C-alpha cells in the first residue's frame, strides 16, 4: 500500500473534487465575462453575462469560505500523519516526505492571499453602482484558476505518493543550521541578530509609513515583512517558544505541546500582511482604506507582541539569552 487510505485524506480529496467541478464552472464564466463584458451594451449576451456574474461570484466566495478553514485542517492533518510516518515528528517531516509538499504548502498560502484579494476587489466592485471592476476581477479569476488547479493536482500527487514505510527526516534535520538545505545556507549567511534587528526596524518603518500615509511603501514593507518575519520566526523567535536553542522548526509550535500557538501566530501574520498589501492593491474608498490600515497594524502589532512575549518571558524567567 503506497498511498494511505486515511479518512481525513479522503475528505480533503473529496472536497478537492467538488472545488474542481465548481472552479471549472467559475473559470468558464469568468473567461466569458472577461472577454465580452460591456456594461453599456443592451444586448442579450450582456444580460446573460450579468446573471452569470452572480453565479461566478457565489462559487468563488464558496471556495474561499472553505479554503480558509481547510488550510488549517490540512496542516492539522499533516501533523497527525507524522505519527504514522517513520521518523517524522511534526508536519515538517510529512511535507518533506514527498517532493511536492513544500510547493503545495507555499501554493496554498499564495492562493489564499489571491482569493482573499479577489473577495476584497469584489466587495469594492459591488459597493459601486457602476461595477467598474467586474471585468478585471473575472479576468483575475481566469488567471487565478491555474494556481488553484495546480494546488489540487499537487494535493493529489502528495497524498498518493506518501509512503508510510519510508523513513523521513524530522524537523531537527531539515531546519538544522548544519544541513545543506538552501534555507540553512541563507540563514547562516545572515547573522540572526541582524535579522532580528531588521524585523523590529521593519515594524517601526511600517508604522512610520502609516503616519506618513505612503500606501505603496506600506505595502512594500509588508511584503518584505512576510519574508523577514518567517525567517526570524525559524531562526530566533522559534527557539524561545521551544525554549531550546537548537530547535528551529516552523511547524512544531502548531502542536498541542505549545498550546497550538502557531495557528494564532500565522493567522496574525497573515491578516496583518494581507491588509497591508490591500492598502495599495485594492482600489477602495478612503474610509475602507483606513480600516485596512488599522486592521493591518492591529494584527502586525499582535504578532510582534506575541513573539516578543516569548523572548521576554524566557529572559525574565531564566536570566539569560538563548
Partner 1 sequence: MKKINFYLLEYALDSLTRQKRRNIFLFSVLSFIIFLLSSVFFVRNSLLYQFDDAIGVMPDIVVQQLEGGRVVSVEEDLADELLAIAGVQDVVGRVWGYYHFFQANTDFAIVGVDEFEQNSNPNFVKDASKLQDDTMFIGNGVKKVLQKFYYEKEFHFLLPDATNMRLKIAGQLSKDSALWSDDVMLLTKESAKKVLAIDDNKVVDFALFVANKKEIPTIVAKIRTLFPTAKITTKENLFVEYDKLLSYRGGFFLLLFVVTLFTFFMIVYDKVSGVTSQEKSEVGILKAIGWRVNDILQYKFYEAFILSFFAYALGVIGAMFYVYSFDASIIFDIFVGSSQIKPQIALPFVFDAQTFFLIFFMSVPIYIAATIIPTWRVATLDVDELLR
State the residues that interact with partner 1 by CB under 8 A.
Answer: 1, 4-11, 14-15, 18, 22, 51, 54-55, 58-59, 62, 66, 69-70, 73, 76, 80, 83-84, 126, 164
| Least distance between partner 1 and beta carbon 53 (Å) | 10
CB of 159 to partner 1, least distance (A): 11
State the nearest-atom distance from the C-beta of 84 to partner 1, in Å: 5
- How far, in Å, CA of 110 to CA of 300, rounded? 19
What is the closest distance, in whole angstroms, from the C-beta atom of residue 247 to partner 1 in the complex?
17
Of 30, 82, 100, the C-alpha closest to 58 is 30
Q: Is 219 exposed, middle or buried (0-12, 13-18, 19+ CB in 10 A)?
A: buried
User: Which grid coordinates are listed for 79?
Assistant: 501533523
Smallest distance, Å, CB 237 to partner 1? Answer: 27
Q: What span, in angstroms and rounded, lies between the C-alpha atoms of 276 and 281?
A: 9
C-alpha span between 274 and 112 (Å, rounded) = 10
Best CA proximity match to 144, nearest among 59, 220, 72: 59
- Which residue lies nearer to partner 1 by CB, 55 or 208? 55
Backbone angles phi, psi at 27, to 5 degrees: -65, -45
Minimum CB separation of residue 285 from partner 1 in Å reads: 15
Backbone angles phi, psi at 167, to 5 degrees: -95, 130
Q: Which is nearer to partner 1, 7 or 319 (CB)?
A: 7
Nearer to partner 1, 6 or 308 (CB): 6
State which residue, 54 or 200, has the beta carbon closest to partner 1: 54
Contact (Cβ atoms closer than 8 angstroms) between residue 190 and residue 171: no
Choose between 181 and 291: whose C-beta lies nearer to partner 1: 291
User: With respect to partner 1, which residue has the nearer C-beta, 202 or 278?
Assistant: 278
Alpha-carbon distance 121 to 239, whole Å? 39
Amino acid at each position: 500500500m503506497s498511498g494511505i487510505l486515511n479518512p481525513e485524506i479522503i475528505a480533503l480529496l473529496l472536497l478537492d473534487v467538488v472545488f474542481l467541478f465548481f472552479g471549472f464552472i467559475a473559470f468558464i464564466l469568468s473567461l466569458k465575462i472577461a472577454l465580452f463584458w460591456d456594461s453599456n451594451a443592451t444586448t442579450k449576451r450582456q444580460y446573460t453575462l450579468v446573471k452569470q456574474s452572480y453565479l461566478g461570484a457565489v462559487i468563488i466566495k464558496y471556495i474561499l469560505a472553505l479554503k480558509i478553514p481547510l488550510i488549517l485542517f490540512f496542516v492539522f492533518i499533516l501533523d497527525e500523519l507524522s505519527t504514522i510516518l517513520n521518523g517524522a515528528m511534526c508536519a515538517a517531516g510529512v511535507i518533506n516526505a514527498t517532493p511536492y509538499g513544500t510547493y503545495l504548502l507555499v501554493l496554498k498560502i499564495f492562493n489564499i492571499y489571491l482569493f482573499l484579494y479577489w473577495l476584497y476587489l469584489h466587495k469594492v466592485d459591488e459597493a459601486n453602482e457602476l461595477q467598474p471592476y467586474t471585468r478585471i476581477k473575472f479576468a483575475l479569476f481566469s488567471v487565478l484558476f491555474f494556481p488553484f488547479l495546480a494546488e489540487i493536482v499537487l494535493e493529489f500527487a502528495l497524498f498518493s505518493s506518501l509512503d508510510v514505510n519510508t523513513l523521513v527526516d524530522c524537523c531537527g534535520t531539515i531546519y538544522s543550521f548544519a544541513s545543506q538545505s538552501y534555507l540553512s545556507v541563507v540563514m547562516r549567511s545572515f547573522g540572526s541578530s541582524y535579522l532580528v534587528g531588521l524585523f523590529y526596524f521593519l515594524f517601526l518603518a511600517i508604522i512610520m509609513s502609516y503616519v506618513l500615509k505612503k500606501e505603496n511603501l506600506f505595502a512594500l514593507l509588508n511584503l518584505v515583512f512576510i519574508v523577514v518575519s518567517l525567517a526570524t520566526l525559524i531562526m530566533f523567535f522559534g527557539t524561545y517558544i521551544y525554549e531550546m536553542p537548537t530547535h528551529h522548526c516552523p511547524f512544531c509550535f502548531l502542536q498541542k505541546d505549545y498550546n497550538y500557538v502557531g495557528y494564532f501566530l500565522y493567522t496574525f501574520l497573515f491578516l496583518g500582511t494581507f491588509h497591508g498589501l490591500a492598502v495599495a492593491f485594492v482600489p477602495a474608498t478612503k474610509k475602507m482604506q483606513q480600516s485596512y490600515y488599522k486592521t493591518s497594524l492591529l494584527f502586525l502589532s499582535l504578532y510582534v507582541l506575541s513573539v516578543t512575549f516569548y523572548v521576554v518571558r524566557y529572559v525574565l524567567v531564566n536570566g539569560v539569552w538563548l
